Structures are given as C-alpha cells and as structure tokens.
Amino acid sequence: MSKGLKTGRKISWCPGCGNFGILAATIKALEELNLDPEKVVLVSGIGCHGRITDYIRANSIHGIHGRVLPLATGIKLANHELTVIGFAGDGDAYNIGIGHLPAAARRNIDITYIVHNNMVYGLTTGQASPTSPLGFKTRSTPLGNIEKPLNPILFAIACGATFVARGFAGEVEHLKNLIIEAIRHEGFALIDVLQPCITFNPTISQQLRKRIYKLEENGHNPRDKNQAIKKAQEWENKIPIGIIYKEERPTYHKQIPQLAQKPLTKHKQTPKMNDIIEILA
C-alpha cells in the first residue's frame, strides 16, 4: 500500500479477512489512476466493511445502515467533478439498502458501488444475509437457511446498471483492474466482491477460490446482454469473475442542462430577499 494513501489508523478486521484484499485493490486502483485524494469521496455503510473509509486518505463519510447510495448520489449530483466510490456489505446493500439500487442503476448515476459480499452478517457475529446459501447454518438459522439467496448480478442487470462486475478479494490485481474500469466507466458501476469471512463463514470461503474463473480468459463479451444474463446465473460449479455486463448510456447529471454546464457547487447562489428577511427574522 502507498504510504501516501494510508491514514495510519489501526486496522480492526479479523486476521485473514477478505476486506484486506478489497482495501489493497482500492488503494492500488487509486494510485494507478493517479487521482487527487482531495477530489475523491468514499462512502461506507454499516458492517465490517464500513471501517474501510478510516484506512484510505481521501474525503469520506460513514453513513447509516443501507444508505450508501443516497449519500453517494447526493455528493455526485452536488459536484460531478468528484470521483465517488461507495462501499457496502451484502446485508447493507442487498437488504435494508436494496431499494436504492434500482434507482441509482436506472438513473445511471456516475458512481462506483463496491459491495463486500461475504454472504453473512459478520459485524453482528454471524446471521444469515440476503446472499447466504440454502442450508447455511448461522445463529439466526440454526437448522439451515431456507430462503433462496438473492442474485445481485442478475438483479443489477435487470435494474438497468450500465456496468456490472464480480470480483474476488483473493485476486487483488484482478480486482484492482475491475475497480479501475468501474471508475473510468461513465455511469453506475456495481462490483459485487466475493469477500471471504473466515470467522463466520469459513466453509464457503474455502470453496470460492476453487470455483472462480476469469471471464476475460474465456472469450466473454460483456456487451452481449443475453450472454451476460447467462453468466450472471452461473454459480453451482463455477463462478465467473470479471466484467459481466457493460453498456454506454447518458449519465444522469449530463441530462440536466444546469448540471451539464457546470457542477452545482459552482453555480452562483442568489437568495431571494424574502428568504433573507425570513432567515434574519
């Protein structure tokens, strides 16, 4: 990690946590893009992932549970010259925050959304999450999970996301490249990162590396939506990682004349006299 982007804060994640890989990949991506930390804003939610904003030297905000996308959207619309990256956990993103994903995707807000998907609630010591596999025994499902897990890749494509990818925290260089491509993409970019939790989900964590394969090494065309949908449904024996779907579509702020002209923060604010009188009163 670059000393320039490290905050020096003590990292509190469990040894071997997949969050370390995501942190390393993010810092490498920011370094390679040579982004000015003052023009980068990181948004995190509630969960083990949430501490990531403490460890990267950039503007950041730690929001409430499930509200990463509304915060990131507001920041981007206020000043679209900023690079805005949101971090969320699978519970944060796909449970309480799931309603915000379709809105951000169909509007094509120009932000990067990185979801730390460990398929379990790690911060609250191991309950089933929206992506937990069937039969998974946790503190909340001692007899095994009976709820079919959400497919976030398929969901994001259906919602209109213009960049959908899956990464693996154990493949730092590959994940770094995905983050770079997502940041460069003009529009809403989701990267669902399979993030091993060796404390509360050790079994699936051990299986992931054996099952993943890289799409770019198998001739996948991410611009073919039908092919992307098929790849989004692969899971049982093999799990594809890489860019699954990508398309170009006008971003939200470029379709608003006032914002397309210049960022909202650079518009001259002229309050009406009645407003001034009301404030003074």
Confidence of residue 35 (pLDDT cuts 50, 70, 90): very high
Pairing of strands 83-89, 189-194: unpaired
Supply φ then ψ for residue 263, to 5 degrees. Answer: -60, 150
β-sheet bridge partners, residue 62:
44
pTM: 0.93
Contact 32, 177 (CB under 8 A): no
Q: How do residues 41-75 score in pLDDT, each as one tens digit?
A: 999 999 999 999 999 999 999 999 999 999 999 99
With a CB cutoff of 8 Å and minimum separation 6, the contacts of 278 are none
- Closest Cα partner for 123 from 6, 175, 45, 62? 45
Q: How do residues 173-187 score in pLDDT, each as one tens digit?
A: 999 999 999 999 999
Looking at residue 55, its pLDDT comes to 96
Q: How do residues 188-227 score in pLDDT, each as one tens digit?
A: 999 999 999 999 988 877 789 899 999 999 999 999 999 9
Q: How do residues 139-170 score in pLDDT, each as one tens digit?
A: 999 999 999 999 999 999 999 999 999 999 99
Rg (CA), the chain: 19
Q: What is the rounded CA–CA span in Å between residue 123 and residue 118?
A: 11
Q: What is the rounded CA–CA span in Å between residue 34 and residue 212?
A: 30
Q: State the chain's mean pLDDT as an integer.
A: 93
Looking at residue 1, its pLDDT comes to 40
Report the pLDDT averaged over residues 107-116: 98
Report the pLDDT averaged over residues 90-116: 97
